[in-house]
Amino acid sequence: MNDARHAEQSGGVRAALKLAYSGGFALDVALDLPGRGVTALFGPSGCGKTTVLRALAGLERAAGQVRMAGETWQDDALGTFLPTHRRELGYVFQEPSLFAHLDVRRNLAYGWRRIPAAQRRVQQDQAVELLGIAHLMDRMPQRLSGGERQRVAIARALLASPRLLLMDEPLAAVDAARKAEILPYLERLHDELAIPVVYVSHALDEVARLADHLVLMEAGRVVASGALVPTLARLELAHQQLDEAGTVVEATLSGHDAAYGLSRITFPGGSMWVGAATAGPGTRVRARVLARDVSITLQAAEGTSILNVLPARVQAMRDEGSDRVLVQLRLGDGDAGTLLLARITRRSRDQLALAAGQQVWAQVKGVALMRS
The reported pLDDT for the residue numbered 5 is 39
The reported pLDDT for the residue numbered 6 is 41
Longest distance between any two alpha carbons in the chain, whole Å:
70
Domain membership flag for residue 240: no
Q: Based on the domain organization, do 291 and 325 belong to the same domain?
A: yes
Q: Which of 68-77, 160-169, 235-244 has the lowest mean pLDDT?
A: 235-244
Domain boundary among 182, 208, 232: 232
What average pLDDT score do residues 269-288 get?
94
The reported pLDDT for the residue numbered 1 is 36
Q: Which of 77-86, 129-138, 331-340 has the lowest mean pLDDT?
A: 331-340
Using the Cα atoms of residue 327, residue 331, residue 335 and residue 340 in order, give the sign of their dihedral. Answer: negative
pLDDT in tens, 290-338: 999 999 999 998 889 999 999 999 999 999 888 999 999 999 877 889 9
Q: Based on the domain organization, do 83 and 218 belong to the same domain?
A: yes
Q: Based on the domain organization, do 22 and 140 belong to the same domain?
A: yes
Domain boundary among 232, 254, 283: 232
Domain membership flag for residue 237: no
Torsion of CA 191, 195, 196, 198, to 10 degrees: -90
With both helix axes pointing from N to C terminus, report the angle between 146-158 and 176-192 in degrees, rounded to the nearest 10. 20
The sheet with strand 164-168 has its strands ordered as 89-92, 164-168, 197-201, 38-42, 213-218, 221-227
Domain membership flag for residue 223: yes
Q: Which of 48-57, 134-143, 233-242, 363-372 has the lowest mean pLDDT?
A: 233-242
Rounded to the nearest integer, the mean pLDDT of the chain is 91
**pLDDT of 362 over the 80 cut:** yes
Domain membership flag for residue 238: no
Residue 275 main-chain phi, psi, to 5 deg: -60, 160
Q: Based on the domain organization, do 150 and 185 belong to the same domain?
A: yes
Domain boundary among 205, 232, 259: 232
**pLDDT of 75 over the 50 cut:** yes
CATH of the domain at 170: 3.40.50.300
Cβ count near 132 (within 10 Å): 16
The sheet with strand 13-20 has its strands ordered as 26-33, 13-20, 63-68, 71-75, 80-81
Q: How many domains does the chain have?
A: 2
Confidence of residue 8 (pLDDT cuts 50, 70, 90): very low
The reported pLDDT for the residue numbered 9 is 42
The reported pLDDT for the residue numbered 240 is 61
pLDDT in tens, 204-258: 889 999 999 999 999 999 999 999 999 999 988 865 667 888 999 999 999 999 9
CATH of the domain at 354: 2.40.50.100
Q: Based on the domain organization, do 150 and 58 belong to the same domain?
A: yes
pLDDT in tens, 33-61: 999 999 999 988 899 999 999 999 999 99
The reported pLDDT for the residue numbered 170 is 92
**pLDDT of 133 over the 70 cut:** yes
**pLDDT of 96 over the 90 cut:** no
What average pLDDT score do residues 128-146 get?
95
pLDDT in tens, 174-215: 888 888 889 999 998 888 888 999 999 988 889 999 999 999
Q: Based on the domain organization, do 274 and 152 belong to the same domain?
A: no
Domain membership flag for residue 54: yes
Q: Based on the domain organization, do 227 and 278 belong to the same domain?
A: no
E strand spans, 116-194: 164-168
Confidence of residue 372 (pLDDT cuts 50, 70, 90): low
Domain membership flag for residue 239: no
Q: Based on the domain organization, do 280 and 223 belong to the same domain?
A: no
Q: Are 40 and 211 in contact (CB under 8 A)?
A: yes
Q: Based on the domain organization, do 13 and 155 belong to the same domain?
A: yes
Q: Based on the domain organization, do 32 and 162 belong to the same domain?
A: yes
Q: Which domain holds residue 270?
A: 246-371
Contacts of 61 (CB under 8 A, 6+ apart): 19, 55, 81
Q: Based on the domain organization, do 258 and 211 belong to the same domain?
A: no
Residue-wise DSSP of 289-338: EEGGGEEEESS--SS-S-SEEEEEEEEEEEEETTTEEEEEEEESSSTTSP
Q: Based on the domain organization, do 144 and 187 belong to the same domain?
A: yes
